[in-house]
Amino acid sequence: MEATPHWRIRDELPLTAENLRALFDNEIPVVRVKGFASPADCQSFLRGMDGANVQRFNVPPHPGYIGTAQFLFRWGHQKAEYFTAARQAYEDRDYVFRRSWDPIARVNQALAEAAGVPVQVAEEPGFGRYYAGIVRLASGGIKRHTDFAPFNAPDYAIAGIDAQLGWNLFFETPQGGGSTTIYNRPWMAEVVPGQEPPQSYDLPDSQVAGAETWTYHVAAGDLIFFNTRNPHEVSPGTGSGQRLHIGAFVGRQPDRSMVVWS
Domain at 79, CATH number: 2.60.120.620
The answer to whether position 5 is within a domain reads no
User: How does the average pLDDT of the chain come out, rounded?
Assistant: 94
Is 99 a residue whose pLDDT tops 50?
yes
The answer to whether position 7 is within a domain reads no
> What's the average model confidence in pLDDT over 125-151?
96
Is 3 a residue whose pLDDT tops 80?
no
Angle value at C-alpha 235, between 85 and 226, nearest 5 degrees: 65
User: SS3 for 169?
Assistant: strand
Spatial CA neighbour of 122 closest among 110, 111, 109, 131: 131
Query: pLDDT value at position 53?
Result: 96
The answer to whether position 2 is within a domain reads no
Query: pLDDT value at position 96?
Result: 98
Is 1 a residue whose pLDDT tops 60?
no
The answer to whether position 29 is within a domain reads yes
pLDDT tens track for 150-175? 999 999 999 999 999 999 999 999 99
CB of 251 closer than 8 Å to CB of 186: no
Q: How many domains does the chain have?
A: 1
The answer to whether position 131 is within a domain reads yes
The answer to whether position 4 is within a domain reads no
Predicted TM-score of the model (pTM): 0.94
Contacts of 150 (CB under 8 A, 6+ apart): 159, 160, 161, 191
The answer to whether position 220 is within a domain reads yes
Say how far apart CA 141 and CA 137 lie, in whole Å: 9
Q: Could you tell me the pLDDT band of residue 2, with boundaries at 50, 70 and 90? A: very low
- Which domain, by its residues, includes 142? 12-261
Query: pLDDT value at position 197?
Result: 78
The answer to whether position 255 is within a domain reads yes
Query: pLDDT value at position 231?
Result: 97
